[in-house]
Amino acid sequence: MRVAALAGEIDFGGWRKAARAFRQAGVTPEQAAFRVGADGDGLFDESLPPSAPGAPSFSVPKAFVDLAQEVILHRSADRFDLLYRLLWRLAAEPDLMHVVTDPDVADAVERAKNVSRASHKMKAFVRFRQMEDVAGECWVAWFEPVHRVVEKTAPFFVRRFASLRWSILTSDGSASWDGEKLTFGPSATRDMAPAEDEIEEFWKTYYASTFNPARLKTRAMQGEMPRRYWKNLPEAALIPELVAQSAVRTEAMVAASAPEPNARLAKTLSRLNRDHAFDEGFVPSTLSELDQAVQACRRCPLWRDATQGVCGEGPKRAKLMIVGEQPGDQEDLAGHPFVGPAGRVLDAALDEVGIDREDVFVTNAVKHFKHEPRGKRRLHKTPSAGEVSACRWWLDAERRLVKPKVIVTLGATAAFGVLARKVAVTKERGRGIDLTDGAKALLTVHPSYLLRIPDAAAKAAERDRFVADLEQAKVLL
Ligand code: URA
């Protein structure tokens, strides 16, 4: 057995160097082992094993390197071995990464998906608490990620909270942003983060007021917000009681009147999310710049009542872009597109067609949630043509950066956002329409339309047509 010592659990550089040396020296997967922090048998660093005489140098497909960088963040102990097995096999099977049914490839892809999911959950469930240190106000969060995604996910928080000083502490390590520089530090313990702060009660009030008992679906809710995250979410303490009271509150809600907005919460949220100056002439050259710039957007008044701007998400070179109308209530709170009920309908349909949502850039024609208060609820309002036209600036920027081949529009607002003309979706749906940038648009209905059809047979038939439209998009790809 040849043992390579790695500097840390996510030491991709160290693994890569050792794995290369192993492969060139003819060390088989059965003979190779990787240990974190352990003393190897001298194979690591200066005394890596010598190459077998005449061993050719080799390169590996980029798809493997990209996948390996994700898989290494998985918490499973055997991930290094799986990756080395793949690397070893690539010598004799150069197309291996395309064989999605191969057990090793499928296993690695699944682990990468788990890592990506853990990163998404971290974006949604980190809760900062306010503290004072010698330099003044700062925000600290304790988080327990399922996989080792702190370093991968920290840049998201830099973009979102660029003007604040913050730290995220986890048992894997910590990430800190001082307003200029992101640094990573050692692991932490829960007691190093503050347990409560001044705005905690406001988060709870806010959550309780946006919690809609009439739409309560406990299983779906747990799917989005798994129980393992609850202990670090201030608002989660309210869930059992809100669920227990949902029937009574549904009745009371009907008669309730619109509450006064919570001024202190609004102030805190506006500091968190909108502490940037709007520069109309700024043209983002990356998706993260775009995301940050949208937070400061003043092209129309919708930013005023929204929690945050919700930009598109997905691979930066996705071939398929899906455009919805605008973020809904849940998307506005989570900061991600299509994570609520319409998103679940979309996900299920994509699944059925065999399109992986992770491969799709999912966005909206309008980036802020337009709504009006009704009792304690925030009711969706359709954006006006003027608002969609104002927000087309951002959609066009996303299109320029991602350069999708096919753009599927969900509903009339999305079609107007992409085509910049009034459209009858029912007449033009399901076929490719040439766009000036060389992409093709394919129009279909919005998934929330499917949710609203009362008759079961009509609903099933409409859903089939929706799935058929997505299949058509796949053909166009
Ligand atoms: N509906 C949309 O159009 N977009 C979302 O992101 C969510 C619901």
Contact (Cβ atoms closer than 8 angstroms) between residue 417 and residue 395:
yes
Higher pLDDT, 257 or 152: 152
Residue 364 CB less than 6 A away from ligand 1: yes
Closest by CA to 221, choosing from 376, 340, 377, is 340
Q: Is 447 close to ligand 1, i.e. is its CB under 6 Å away?
A: no
By CB atoms closer than 10 A (0-12, 13-18, 19+), residue 146 is middle
With a 6 A CB cut-off, is 312 part of the ligand 1 pocket? no
CA angle 304, 306, 311 (to 5 degrees): 115
Residues 223 and 289 in one domain: no
> 265 in a domain, yes or no?
no
If asked whether residues 221 and 246 sit together in one domain, one would say yes
Q: Tell me if 69 is assigned to some domain.
A: yes
Q: Which helix (H) or strand (E) holds 410?
A: strand 406-410
Given a cut of 60, is residue 253 above it in pLDDT? no
Residue 53's SS3 state is coil
Residues 75 and 149 in one domain: no
**Residue 261 located in a structural domain:** no
| 148 and 296 fall within a common domain | no
Residues 229, 343, single domain; the answer is: no
Structure tokens at 193: 């983060």
Instruction: Give the total number of structural domains in the chain.
Output: 4
Q: Are residues 345 and 472 in the same domain?
A: yes
Residue 92, class by beta-carbon neighbours within 10 Å (0-12 exposed, 13-18 middle, 19+ buried)?
A: exposed
For CA atoms 208, 209, 211, 214, the dihedral sign is positive
For Cα atoms 320, 323, 326, give the angle at the middle one, nearest 5 degrees. Answer: 155
- Does one domain contain both 276 and 412? yes
Domain termination residue (choose one: 150, 166, 192):
192
296-354 per-position pLDDT tens digit: 999 999 998 899 999 999 999 999 999 999 999 999 999 999 999 999 999 999 999 99
Give the C-alpha separation, 364 to 323, whole Å.
5
Q: In terms of Cα–Cα distance, which of 9, 10, 31 is closest to 21? A: 31
Q: Round to whole Å and give the CA distance between 154 and 131.
A: 19
Q: Are residues 165 and 94 in the same domain?
A: no
Question: Within this chain, do residues 461 and 378 fall inside the same structural domain, yes or no?
Answer: yes
Task: Write down the pLDDT at residue 137.
Answer: 82
Which structural domain range is residue 207 located in? 199-255
Mutate to test the pocket of ligand 1, among 448, 449, 466 (most ligand atoms within 8 A of CB): 448
Are 194 and 140 within 8 A, CB to CB?
yes
Pocket test for ligand 1, best of 310, 313, 331, 370 (most atoms within 8 A of CB): 331
Same domain? 317 vs 447:
yes
Of 120, 135, 159, the last residue of a domain is: 120
Q: Tell me: do 23 and 165 sit in the same domain.
A: no
Which of 325, 333, 362 maximizes ligand 1 atoms within 8 Å of its Cβ, making it the mutation to test the pocket?
325
> Over the stretch 13-56, which tens digit does the pLDDT of each residue have?
999 999 999 999 999 999 999 999 865 444 444 445 566 666 66
**Of 120, 143, 170, which closes a domain?**
120
Q: Would you say residue 383 lies in a domain?
A: yes
Q: Per the confidence metrics, is the pTM higher than 0.75?
A: no
Which of 219 and 76 is assigned the larger pLDDT? 76
73 assigned to some structural domain: yes
Question: How confident is the model over 100-111, as a mean pLDDT?
Answer: 96
262 lies in a domain? no
Identify whether 404 is part of a domain: yes
Ligand 1 atom nearest 411 alpha carbon: 3
Q: For ligand 1, what atom is nearest to the CA of residue 336?
A: 6
Q: Is 427 exposed, middle or buried (0-12, 13-18, 19+ CB in 10 A)?
A: exposed
Are 237 and 358 in the same domain? no
**Mean pLDDT across the stretch 209-236?**
65
Q: How far is the CA of 447 from the centre of ligand 1 (A)?
A: 9
Supply the CATH number for residue 418's domain.
3.40.470.10
12 part of a folded domain: yes
Query: Among 61-75, 131-145, 192-206, 251-265, which is the least confidently predicted range?
Result: 251-265
| Rounded distance between C-alpha atoms, residue 238 and residue 244, angstroms | 10
